[in-house]
């Protein structure tokens, strides 16, 4: 088993300014974590007020690209419904350049209808259409990045058409930034991951369900005759404490129940978290995305960096 990489994953639509995200990203870098990732949403979920309001994922990452120097930067997951594929390919390539080649592109079909309604973003009526558009976008974005300098890119699909596109700018990473595809869909998601992704991520699932999803994608990789390696990863809510009282305080701060978090997340003492991360590693996870929901609690990051990270490397 290789080294488990720990990454910090934030949900800023629940209420966070750029300055708050910058503080957390700098702590992520200073404490030795592998990466700082954020969701790509424009509307809060649940009963929080969401103040001061949403921040744009790629504007945020562009800023962080210039204010950090080591950590990887990415999205879990950019929504295909938010942006046209050509301009999105330009944005991600530009942020990759701005970061000196540290970007990772997590990309999903989009699902949260309310945020589309709230901001006037068209939302395809069926899941099939969302996935059809998503698959075309994957083809276009990876195709634009892969086109040699001096050549053009054309695409003719049901939903998108590109004619003699210059396919510029190029990202700094060659042949492209890593592409992450996630989710637990049984058929189409594994097939798309095998065709387009460098990393397959299973969010907020039990160890058993994560193992089953990894296996489906391994089978799809094999069926596609793919030779490039696939990275397997999982995302889990984090709630670590030195003692039961600290765990309870951190759970209360994010409106969750300790017993439920121990069942459905990474919760408890550092030793309990080391044990559960180890069980994810046993089913094939090479990276864990630690979802930090209280962005004011930097001591939480410090505790995990000092007490958990050295034991899972």
- Render each residue's pLDDT in the chain as its tens digit; 313 residues: 458 999 999 999 999 999 999 999 999 999 999 999 999 999 999 989 999 999 999 999 999 999 999 999 999 999 999 999 999 999 999 999 999 999 999 999 999 999 999 999 999 999 999 999 999 999 999 999 999 999 999 999 999 999 999 999 999 999 999 999 999 999 999 999 999 999 999 999 999 999 999 999 999 999 999 999 999 999 999 999 999 999 999 999 999 999 999 999 999 999 999 999 999 999 999 999 999 999 999 999 999 999 999 999 8
CA distance 250 to 303: 12
Q: Which long-range contacts (CB under 8 A, 24 or more apart) does 110-115 make?
A: 110/79, 110/80, 110/81, 110/82, 110/134, 111/79, 112/41, 112/43, 112/45, 112/79, 114/43, 115/13, 115/41, 115/42, 115/43
pTM for this predicted structure: 0.97
CATH tag for 5-312 (out of 3.40.190.10, 3.20.20.30, 3.90.1150.10, 2.40.50.100): 3.20.20.30
**Per-residue model confidence (pLDDT) at position 2:** 57
**Per-residue model confidence (pLDDT) at position 1:** 44
């Amino acid at each position: 088993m290789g080294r488990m990489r720990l990454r910090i994953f934030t949900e800023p639509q629940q209420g966070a300014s750029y300055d708050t995200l910058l503080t957390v990203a700098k702590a992520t870098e200073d404490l030795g974590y592998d990466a700082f990732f954020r969701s790509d949403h424009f509307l809060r979920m649940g009963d929080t007020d969401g103040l001061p309001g949403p921040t744009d994922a790629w504007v945020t990452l562009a800023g962080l690209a210039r204010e950090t120097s080591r950590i990887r930067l990415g999205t879990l997951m950019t929504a295909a419904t938010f942006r046209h594929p050509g301009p999105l390919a330009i944005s991600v390539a530009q942020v990759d350049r701005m970061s000196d080649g540290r970007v990772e592109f997590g990309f999903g079909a989009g699902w949260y209808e309310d945020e589309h309604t709230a901001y006037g973003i068209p939302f395809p009526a069926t899941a099939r259409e969302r996935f059809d558009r998503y698959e075309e976008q994957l083809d276009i974005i990876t195709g634009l990045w892969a086109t040699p300098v001096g050549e053009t890119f054309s695409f003719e699909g049901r939903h998108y058409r590109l004619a003699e596109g210059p396919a510029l700018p190029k990202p700094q990473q060659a042949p492209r930034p890593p592409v992450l595809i996630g989710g637990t869909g049984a058929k189409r998601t594994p097939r798309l991951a095998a065709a387009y992704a460098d990393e397959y991520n299973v969010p907020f699932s039990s160890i058993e369900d994560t193992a089953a999803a990894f296996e489906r994608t391994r089978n799809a990789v094999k069926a596609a005759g793919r030779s490039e390696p696939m990275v397997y990863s999982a995302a889990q809510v984090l709630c670590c404490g030195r003692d039961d009282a600290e765990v309870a305080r951190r759970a209360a701060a994010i409106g969750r129940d300790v017993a439920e978090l121990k069942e459905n997340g990474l919760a408890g003492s550092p030793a309990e978290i080391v044990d559960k991360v180890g069980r994810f590693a046993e089913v094939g996870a090479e990276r864990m995305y630690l979802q930090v929901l209280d962005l004011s609690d930097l001591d939480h990051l410090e505790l995990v960096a000092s007490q958990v990270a050295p034991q899972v490397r």
